[in-house]
Amino acid sequence: MSNSTPATIEDVARIANVSIATVSRAIHMPEKVANSTRLKVNQAIAITGYTTNAMARSLRLGRSNMILVVAPDIGDPNFSNILIGLENEARSHGYGILIGHTQNDAQRGLEYLKFLNSNQAAGLILFTGILPFGHQTMTARLPPSVGVFEPVFNGGIPYVGVDDIAGARKAVDLLIAEGHRKIAFIGDSRTRLAYNRRRMGYDAGLDAAHIGADLRIVFEGDGTIESGRLAVEQLFMRDTLPTAFMCVNDQTAIGVMIGLKARGYDIPGDFSVTGFDDVPQAVFMSPSLTTIRQPRTAIGKHAMSLLIELLSDGQPAETEILLLPDLVVRNSVSAPSRARR
């Protein structure tokens, strides 16, 4: 019993006095075996401590019960909570997850492609634009896949993301409600889908409040803290100062806050600032950052359940799932100071 080698289905069959086929059926199609038999088998399983050898099973079935999650950066604070969502959902459907990170290295990506080709994963969860998918040959063999945050190719692969437009709209609406009319938008790269969508939310919000767009206070950058700080510097060299900064992400917002504080301004007394993402440190900033929270765990959950659906049906129910992000009100926003209003 406390043998060193794990029990096989044969051990169970011998003890239950049935064939191995019956044991397999008792486990996977319980309704197909007689009650009495099922009982015997279950007892034998309890005695032996038998667990199905996943490798043999996968080999026979031609697919594994593992799902590969490939992300560019495991250390990204956005990642871990999504992972939790992914993992919970996967486990509850009998799948395990396997994590790979490419560090944006094409070589790495290729390795994972190989991995997939050797049938080691039944499905793939793909974070924003990672794999060197130029290779048409490779993509042909890709297992069922789901993207996270942004669509992966032109076609085919469904994805789960966040409704950036609606999220950005919440931020800009808050600022407008507080009385701001001159709201700067500090973005990252125009090549990024998130930028364009959040910008659309920003534009729509201004439009709805009949505030004309002012391109002098709209910036591009690269989404880093430094890029936020730089945007502030540039703004102060011009003549049109905003009363609020709406930032494309929290990193940028943090940079903006640093820049403003370095110039001796008070937040939110002199300027209001909003972010997007709600990274962990947002709450530790002083003032704590008002931002739009990515529903990370939910994103993970949805992405995985979409993939699992794909795995069984073959057809995606929908090709795009956009989750609604929440506004998290903290202390970086207030009414504009009379002086500069």
Return the number of the residue (38 or 199) whose C-beta is nearest DNA.
38
The residue within the footprint of a second copy, chosen from 14, 27, 47, 81 (CB under 8 A), is 81
Side-chain-side CA neighbours of 182 within 13 Å: the count stands at 15
Alpha carbons 235 and 217: distance in angstroms, whole number:
7
20 binds, among a second copy, DNA, none (CB under 5 to 8 A by kind): DNA
DSSP string, 308-340: HHHHHHSS-S-SEEEEPPEEE--SS--PPPGGG
Return the number of the residue (79 or 245) whose C-beta is nearest a second copy.
79
Please, where are the H alpha helices in 225-334?
225-237, 250-262, 296-313
Q: Is 66 in the site for a second copy (CB under 8 A)?
A: yes
Q: Is 224 in the site for DNA (CB under 7 A)?
A: no
**Residues 27-56, mask of contacts with DNA (x by CB under 7 A):** xx---xxx-xx------------x-xx--x
Cα 22 from chain centre: 42
298 binds, among a second copy, DNA, none (CB under 5 to 8 A by kind): none
Question: Which residues, listed in sequence order, are joined to residue 41 by a DSSP beta bridge?
Answer: none
Side-chain-side CA neighbours of 232 within 13 Å: the count stands at 26
Q: To the nearest whole angstrom, how small is the minimum distance from the Cβ of residue 56 to DNA?
A: 3
Please, where are the H alpha helices in 17-135?
20-28, 35-48, 54-61, 77-92, 106-117
DSSP character at residue 277? B
34 binds, among DNA, a second copy, none (CB under 5 to 8 A by kind): DNA
Q: Is 263 in the site for a second copy (CB under 8 A)?
A: no
Q: Is 79 in the site for a second copy (CB under 8 A)?
A: yes
36 binds, among a second copy, DNA, none (CB under 5 to 8 A by kind): DNA
Question: Taking the chain, what is the end-to-end CA distance rounded to the nearest angstrom?
Answer: 79
**Residues 264-283, mask of contacts with a second copy (x by CB under 8 A):** ----------------xx--
**Residues 60-79, mask of contacts with DNA (x by CB under 7 A):** xxx-----------------
The residue within the footprint of DNA, chosen from 14, 42, 57, 193 (CB under 7 A), is 57
Closest by CA position to 232, among listed 181, 269, 271, 196: 271
Per DSSP bridges, beta strands 244-247 and 183-186 are parallel
Alpha carbons 35 and 26: distance in angstroms, whole number:
9
- What are the residues binding DNA (CB under 7 A)? 5-6, 8-10, 17-22, 24-25, 27-28, 32-34, 36-37, 50, 52-53, 56-57, 59-62
Binding site for a second copy (CB under 8 A): 2, 4, 6, 49, 51-56, 58-59, 64, 66, 74-77, 79-81, 83-84, 87, 91, 96-101, 111, 114-115, 117-120, 137, 140-141, 254, 280-281, 284-286
